[in-house]
Amino acid sequence: MKINGKDQTAIWVKNKTIYFIDQRKLPFAYELYTAKTVDDIAYAIKDMVVRGAPAIGAAAAYGMALGCKTPEKTATILRSTRPTAHDLFYAVQYMLNHLKNGKDPFTVAETFVQDIIDRCRRIGDHGNTLIKDGMRILTHCNAGALATVDYGTALAPFRAAHAQGKNIFIYADETRPRLQGLLTAWELHQEGIPHVLIVDNAAGYFMQLGQIDMVITGADRIAANGDSANKIGTYEKAVLAKKHHIPFYVAAPISTFDKSLATGKEIIIEERSPLEITHPFKSQLMPEWVSVKNPAFDITPSELVTGYITETGVIKKLL
């Protein structure tokens, strides 16, 4: 991705220290978080220094490299950080399998991360084939380079289309309560892609006006039947898209598909702290007596999905 005109990834390693763009500080400040221990990595995942399924997977791979002397203990720590994103568990198991071969752990982790980047680039190429000149596209949450190390999943087709000279316009939902839509807006701003940020509840309004031609979102876990877990509010956008006959695509690498789960009903939905709603950005917004429920994800049934944009191509229907 571009940051101030220069190419940059969201995560990188140097001298066995892992560097993250601290997503908690964006878009107001560009700061780095450094991780030198497994506990540092676990904190980064749990406290959302890093977020987005593929990026969490990359962080877990580096975490396994840091904790390579006690792989099973390290795996337990990392698996306990966040329950919904499949890439986290996929990365941990990948590292466990490859560390048995006696390979250098950081070389194994770097190979894993570079593969994520390549998969996202190909997702962009395949997704670009769906985008026509002049399209107006809605996305929810952030599924860009910040969430995937580079390129993105949902944002990768936008980057590819823009690079090809297509005239596109992106509607980015603000995505409460953590406002990850601001991260999407920040990435689009850095790339020079025309866009606007809208409140979550405005998506239906713009669809009703005929100003949205397509919806592309990411996913944190996809069940065998195609039901997908993504940031809370995604299901609503899928229902609205169906009502208004707008194509709804899910962009994700194959590592996000969890064939061990038959349907989305088996996906564990993470419940996060009420403070994210009552005290956003550490500022009290609501009185203490307000009772809050804060699910981080919802499930979009496969029947609402037009297709899945993967590194192998666009899948219109899962078996």
- Residue 141: left if φ>0, alpha if ψ -120 to 50, beta else—which one? left
pLDDT band at 216 (very low <50, low <70, confident <90, very high): very high
pLDDT band at 282 (very low <50, low <70, confident <90, very high): confident
pLDDT band at 318 (very low <50, low <70, confident <90, very high): low
Q: How far is CA 240 from CA 27, 236, 248, in A?
A: 29, 6, 10
Its pTM stands at: 0.93
- The residues spanned by each domain of the chain are 2-118, 130-315
Return the SS3 of 145.
helix
Cα separation, 166 vs 95, whole angstroms: 39
Q: Please give the mean pLDDT across all residues of the chain.
A: 95
Are 213 and 136 in contact, with CB atoms under 8 Å apart?
A: yes
Report the catalytic residues. 220
pLDDT band at 317 (very low <50, low <70, confident <90, very high): confident
- What is the architecture of the domain spanning 130-315? 3-Layer(aba) Sandwich (3.40)
Report residue 310: phi and psi, to 5°. Answer: -120, 175
Identify the CATH homologous superfamily for domain 2-118: translation initiation factor eif-2b, domain 1 (1.20.120.420)
Percentage of residues in the chain having pLDDT higher than 70: 99
Name 313's bridge partners: 310
The per-residue pLDDT for range 7-53, each reduced to its tens digit, is: 999 999 999 999 999 999 999 999 999 999 999 999 999 999 999 99
Percentage of residues in the chain having pLDDT higher than 90: 93
The per-residue pLDDT for range 97-138, each reduced to its tens digit, is: 998 888 899 999 999 999 999 999 999 999 999 999 999 999
Cα separation, 160 vs 151, whole angstroms: 9
